[in-house]
A and B are shown apart, each in its own frame.
Chain A
Amino acid sequence: MNMRISAGEFTERSLQIIKDLKHLEGPMLPILHAIQAEFGYVPDEVKPIIAGELNLSRAEVHGVVTFYHEFRDHPAGRHVLKLCRAEACQSMGSDRIADRARQLLGIDFHQTTPDGAVTLEAVYCLGLCACAPAAMLDGEVYGRVDEHCLSEIVAEVRR
């Protein structure tokens, strides 16, 4: 997130996170979640540090990070809007909502608006299938999303 931190501080903060969690059984995912919570993404520079601390190769760490949709290799916008694209939401017209979102924001899925306001992501099920279509804005959930609701969300993130 904060791009202006020094290399030394970056290493120190990463090491602290890893040391706090490496006693867990299977500490990799908890570490990666904590790193992403700290920096907003999983920077390339952190991979050799994790590898060193967990006695793995850098390739193994890279392999894990890239396997999971959740981990980002670059920072997201100030807001992240996730639209559900799975079947239950499709049955209630989520494809139309997705098209409208792309149009309103001028970006496609997995992209961030040029002003850095919002990143649009696809998600496959939020467990809100009986009040579809569903969306999530920065952890806050929305059900029965229609064009009106979507415009309000877009206005909110643009503010």
Chain B
Amino acid sequence: MTVTIFVPRDAAALALGAEKVAKAITQEIAARGLDAKVVRNGSRGMFWLEPLVEVRTDQGRVAYGPVKADDVAGLFDAGFLTGSGHALCLGLTKEIPFLRQQTRLTFSRCGVIDPLSLEDYRHYQGLKGLEKAISMAQAEIVREVTDSGLRGRGGAGFPTGIKWKTVMEAAGPQKYIVCNADEGDSATFADRMIMEGDPFVLIEGMAIAGIATGATKGYVYIRSEYPHAIATMTEAVEIARAAGILGSSVLGSAHAFHIEIRSGAGAYVCGEETSLLNSLEGKRGIVRAKPPLPALQGFLGRPTVVNNVISLASVPVIMDRGAAFYRDFGVGRSRGTIPIQIAGNVKYGGLYETAFGLSLGEIVDHIGGGTATGRPVKAVQVGGPLGAYFPRALFDTPFDYEAFAARDGLIGHAGITVFDDSADMLKQARFAMEFCAIESCGKCTPCRIGSTRGVETADKIAQGIEPEKNKALLADLCNTMKFGSLCALGGFTPYPVMSAMNHFPEDFAPTPLIEAAE
């Protein structure tokens, strides 16, 4: 029987040499005349082990990693096609603790299947949610999503079902589903992984959203920094169209649904939904005032659902297994699972899908294993460039929307960047302002000008120029930005700045003048 070897095609695996490994394996198979084939899967999300090569055996899939091209011949010599031992052997993939302890609902297939094989997709419960949705009334689908407790995974945490209900009830000859795949936050890669590793789940989620709300057209707006995701999604949409999953009759039903892939052009602010809509329409990505809500006047002024990739990709499992199944995971008002992305200076970096409620400390110290450099963890930034820096003292914060808000932070798109004790928090605060200045769309004065003044003020603090006065000025500026900006860019940049200043005051103290003391 032909042995199947899995080598990921995920961009992070490629960045670590997966392409060379795949080539070396193909060459060895040919040179040794073996009956084996290479399948390019997505990533399992354990990036310290990438490229992670797997072999399908009678006992299950056996993992080897991190594999370099130079290791390949040795793996064949050791008989890895039968799952034999080797220094790089990690045992059965599903038994690797980082993976075994997760609750993979949205990412159940990611890293398991060939992303572009519909056969694989169906084999692993794919399309069950869509098939069920087709047999249901619109309001029933919306109720199912509402009852699941699913909230926008892009960061704002707005209940997905309520958004859908507004669009379902809105009148209009043409409605749209717009998938926000402008994943610009540093430390986040969940959208990228799902688009590269299981694109059909996003397509299925969008089709369900279309049927539920009466929208017949969907757009996936993917940032241009993700060429691999754009390529995979484009190919997947073509396959889904040819198979009748998309088109004028979704799975043979009376519903039509079409999807088009669009590429962003390097503007971070376009991850904000109204800015994204303007960009999709071909305008400058300037933020719009709300109301009107995009649900009522969105793309081209028509009723539009704008949902994040992970929100939409979580819908198929909710429809398949029911709202109660999904809602039973999580805590408080944060229901279901969340794919936590552990990144930066961390030993075991990757994607960890789990129910809401783990403490920040468990995530960083136990799951992430502390820093990659081996030095103490000084701070973690949660929620991307607009998220707060948390000190160790707040590591008891449970991972849930409200708990983070209560501590002047946000979980955002669930990315965590770990910093060791060499980090300079004044420098990080300055960068938050600098980034805001680079990416501000320019609509709101506090964001457009305040960010530049923020950089200057941070520099003055660093130079020891009237530090107390300038710290007060920076805090005041943050207050103005927070309350005087339309969107999260200007409104949330104060989170990293203020948290750095409040939790790490020693980094904002004037540098002692050693020479003068001598």
- Residues of A that sit less than 8 Å from B by CB: 24-30, 32-33, 54, 63-64, 67-71, 86-92, 123-132, 134, 136, 139-144
CB contact between A91 and one of B191, B268, B281, B418 (< 8 Å): that residue? B418
A67 close to B417 (CB less than 8 A): no
CA distance A140 to B346 in the complex (A): 24
Does any Cβ of A come within 8 Å of B280's Cβ?
A: yes
Question: Smallest distance from the beta carbon of B219 to chain A beta carbons, Å?
Answer: 8
Closest Cβ neighbor of B384 among chain A residues: A87
B15 close to A131 (CB less than 8 A): yes
User: Which of B123-131, B146-154, B258-266, B327-335 lies at the binding interface?
Assistant: B258-266
CB contact between B183 and one of A29, A89, A127 (< 8 Å): that residue? A127
20 A-B pairs whose Cβ atoms sit less than 8 Å apart in the complex: A25-B300, A26-B282, A30-B262, A32-B265, A67-B267, A67-B284, A70-B265, A87-B187, A124-B184, A124-B186, A124-B385, A125-B188, A127-B183, A129-B187, A129-B343, A129-B344, A130-B343, A130-B349, A131-B50, A132-B343
By secondary structure, the B interface counts as: mixed
Q: Given A88-B186, A142-B15: A127 and B226 within 8 A (CB)? A: yes
Q: How large is the interface on B (under 10, 10 to 19, 20 to 34, 35 or more residues)?
A: 35 or more
B372 close to A92 (CB less than 8 A): yes
Q: Given A91-B417, A92-B345, A125-B184: A130 and B11 within 8 A (CB)? A: no
Does any Cβ of A come within 8 Å of B279's Cβ?
A: yes
Could you say which residues of chain A place their CB within 8 Å of the CB of B16? 131, 143-144
B263 close to A88 (CB less than 8 A): no
Question: Smallest distance from the beta carbon of B2 to chain A beta carbons, Å?
Answer: 30
CA distance A124 to B186 in the complex (A): 7
| Candidate in A24, A86, A136 with the most chain B CB atoms within 10 angstroms | A86
Question: Smallest distance from the beta carbon of B300 to chain A beta carbons, Å?
Answer: 6
Does any Cβ of A come within 8 Å of B47's Cβ?
A: yes
CB contact between A26 and one of B11, B300, B345 (< 8 Å): that residue? B300
Could you say which residues of chain B place their CB within 8 Å of the CB of A87? 186-187, 344, 381, 384-385, 417, 428, 431
B350 close to A130 (CB less than 8 A): yes
A130 close to B284 (CB less than 8 A): no
Does any Cβ of A come within 8 Å of B74's Cβ?
A: no
A64 close to B268 (CB less than 8 A): no
Q: Given A124-B439, A129-B344: A29 and B279 within 8 A (CB)? A: yes
B423 close to A143 (CB less than 8 A): no
Question: Smallest distance from the beta carbon of A92 to chain B beta carbons, Å?
Answer: 6
Question: Smallest distance from the beta carbon of B418 to chain A beta carbons, Å?
Answer: 6
B350 close to A70 (CB less than 8 A): no
Could you say which residues of chain B place their CB within 8 Å of the CB of A27? 282
B300 close to A88 (CB less than 8 A): no
Question: Smallest distance from the beta carbon of A50 to chain B beta carbons, Å?
Answer: 10
Could you say which residues of chain A place their CB within 8 Å of the CB of B439? 124
Closest Cβ neighbor of B438 among chain A residues: A124
B223-235 contact mask (Cβ, 8 Å, vs A): 1 or 0? 0111110000000
CA distance A132 to B418 in the complex (A): 11
Does any Cβ of A come within 8 Å of B326's Cβ?
A: no
| Candidate in B267, B282, B300, B431 with the most chain A CB atoms within 10 angstroms | B282
Does any Cβ of A come within 8 Å of B161's Cβ?
A: no
| Candidate in A26, A54, A89, A136 with the most chain B CB atoms within 10 angstroms | A26
CA distance A33 to B264 in the complex (A): 9
Could you say which residues of chain A place their CB within 8 Å of the CB of B183? 125, 127
4 further A-B pairs in the complex, CB-CB below 8 A; given A29-B279, A87-B381, A131-B349: A86-B186, A124-B184, A130-B349, A141-B11
Question: Smallest distance from the beta carbon of A2 to chain B beta carbons, Å?
Answer: 23
CB contact between A129 and one of B188, B285, B428 (< 8 Å): that residue? B188
Does any Cβ of A come within 8 Å of B100's Cβ?
A: no
A91 close to B47 (CB less than 8 A): no
Question: Smallest distance from the beta carbon of B504 to chain A beta carbons, Å?
Answer: 15
Closest Cβ neighbor of A142 among chain B residues: B15
Question: Smallest distance from the beta carbon of A57 to chain B beta carbons, Å?
Answer: 13
B266 close to A129 (CB less than 8 A): no
Closest Cβ neighbor of A132 among chain B residues: B344
Closest Cβ neighbor of B302 among chain A residues: A25
A131 close to B47 (CB less than 8 A): yes
**Would you list the 9 A-B pairs with minimal beta carbon distance, nearest first?**
A28-B282, A130-B349, A143-B15, A86-B186, A129-B343, A68-B265, A70-B266, A69-B266, A91-B344
Does any Cβ of A come within 8 Å of B192's Cβ?
A: yes
Closest Cβ neighbor of A143 among chain B residues: B15
Could you say which residues of chain A place their CB within 8 Å of the CB of B428? 87, 90
CB contact between B225 and one of A92, A127, A131, A132 (< 8 Å): that residue? A127
Closest Cβ neighbor of B432 among chain A residues: A87
Question: Smallest distance from the beta carbon of B353 to chain A beta carbons, Å?
Answer: 14
CA distance A27 to B281 in the complex (A): 7
Does any Cβ of A come within 8 Å of B113's Cβ?
A: no
Does any Cβ of A come within 8 Å of B189's Cβ?
A: yes
Interface residues of B in 273-295 (CB under 8 A from A): 279-286
Could you say which residues of chain A place their CB within 8 Å of the CB of B384? 87
CA distance A70 to B220 in the complex (A): 18
Q: Given A25-B300, A27-B282, A141-B15: A127 and B192 within 8 A (CB)? A: yes
A124 close to B417 (CB less than 8 A): no
